[in-house]
Amino acid sequence: MGAAVQQADGGARRRRRGRGRTRPMAEINVTPFVDVMLVLLIIFMVAAPLLTVGVPVELPKTAANALAADSEEPLTVTITATGEVQIQTTPTVRGELVGKLRAIAAERETDRVFLRADGSIPYEAVMQVMGALNAGGFSNVGLVTDVGGPTLDSDGQ
């Protein structure tokens, strides 16, 4: 894959007797490796946003900006339209939520958690889960929404 034949004398002189000795080229052609790495980089850049938590919820829309990313995988708590609470993608009974959150908080470096709630859930249910998050050791709660909602500025949008 990239080996070539080169004359021993550098090709500067011609031999008088028959063919000259040849030796394999000692250089490696790295162009195919670079091509493969660039293709893999593009694939991972496209696929990375698709690896978010896959619990289907209808998030409310707001005009808020996105939060900065952490070094570790973000912890996500989701409240579905039926009122079920899930940590990442694992369904959790509300009575066991604080205990599980305390166990998770003991293993994590940061106290940041993202709360995703379906837009049809009552405000009281969201606040109860936020209270459980606080009691479980997570005081840095980010509310996840979709973009494109009303800006509530003077333009009347």
Q: In whole angstroms, what separates CA 44 from the centre of its chain?
A: 10
Q: How would you write the pLDDT of the chain (157 residues) with one tens digit per residue?
A: 555 555 555 555 555 555 667 777 778 888 889 999 999 999 988 887 766 656 666 777 777 666 666 567 788 899 988 889 998 888 888 888 889 989 988 888 888 888 988 888 898 888 999 899 888 888 888 888 777 777 777 655 4
Task: Please give the Cα distance from 70 to 112 (Å, whole number).
Answer: 9
The CA-based angle 12-15-16, given to 5 degrees, is 140
pLDDT reported for residue 90: 86
pLDDT reported for residue 7: 56
In single-letter form, the type of residue at position 13 comes to: R
Task: Please give the Cα distance from 111 to 99 (Å, whole number).
Answer: 15
pLDDT reported for residue 21: 75
pLDDT reported for residue 53: 53
CA distances from 87 to 47, 50, 56, 78, 98 (A): 23, 19, 13, 6, 11
What is the pTM assigned to this prediction? 0.54
Task: Please give the Cα distance from 135 to 130 (Å, whole number).
Answer: 9
CATH code of the domain occupying 75-144? 3.30.420.270
75 in Cβ contact with 87 (< 8 Å): yes
pLDDT reported for residue 68: 62
CA distances from 151 to 3, 61, 76, 121, 142 (A): 62, 10, 26, 22, 19
Nearest to 111 by CA among 134, 87, 140, 90: 140
Domain ranges of the chain: 75-144
